[in-house]
Amino acid sequence: MKAVGRVRSARWRLLVPVVCLVAGIGFAASARDSRGTDLRAPGITSLADTVRGAESRVRQADAQLQRLQEQVNDAARAAGSDDSQVAAAQAAVTPLMRPGGLTAVHGPGLVVVLDDAASVAGSSAADDNQRVVHQSDLQAVVNALWAGGAEAMTIAGQRVIATSAVRCVGPTLLLNGEVFSPPYRVAAIGPSATMQDRLASSPGVTQFRNAAGYYGLGYTVESVDDVRLPAYTGSISLRYAHPGK
């Protein structure tokens, strides 16, 4: 028995330095990679905090952009009052501002709201996928409104223009470079009766309306006497596409 004990003791004396060496190498590698920072800092490990921080920075940038745009508009008006050529160019551009979505507008129209269903405990993954508003659902509503004669439109308060794209990333909407969560409010100025007819006859909208009745999704359509839509304030320059010759 004493011989066995001496063998075990010898093994431990050999293993302890090896374990310490491996641990030391691991600590050194972590220190080198982190460069003195926390590898699992709360701001990195929490995706929600990261998204909220990014949204806050975007809002600050938007506010700064609005202030700068107001300064540019003031300078443009001053230039138009002092230079006849500038005034002529501005007069030529002004009629294009409204159809381009660059001016605030108001008038009678419709407000359509799409919303996710309430979560139900014990529901399957397939059911959960049916309980959220998808990109195709929102696109179906938007396309039906345009087909019904909509003259101007916003989604979640964002003015929709020719270069706007409706894209859903997971359970959120990405529009004009900003992220929005449901409910999604689509407001359109135009002939209410015709737009309602187009909504009723759209296969995509009909499918969503049926799903709303079965899964509890939110879908409402309201006729409004005076819909007020803000102007589009984002960039109108094409980044990737180029006009054809």
Residue 188 has pLDDT above 90, yes or no: yes
Check residue 40 and give its pLDDT. Answer: 41
Which of the pair, 126 or 213, is modelled with greater confidence?
Answer: 213
Q: Which residues pair with 223 in a beta bridge?
A: 110
Whole-number mean pLDDT of the chain? 79
pTM for the structure as a whole: 0.67
Which of the pair, 39 or 102, is modelled with greater confidence?
Answer: 102
Which residues, other chains included, contact 184 with Cβ-Cβ below 8 Å and sequence gap of 6+? 113, 114, 115, 133, 138, 155, 156, 173
Residue 105 has pLDDT above 50, yes or no: yes
Check residue 25 and give its pLDDT. Answer: 59
pLDDT grade, residue 142 (50/70/90)?
very high
Check residue 112 and give its pLDDT. Answer: 97
Distance separating alpha carbons of residues 140 and 206, to the nearest angstrom: 9
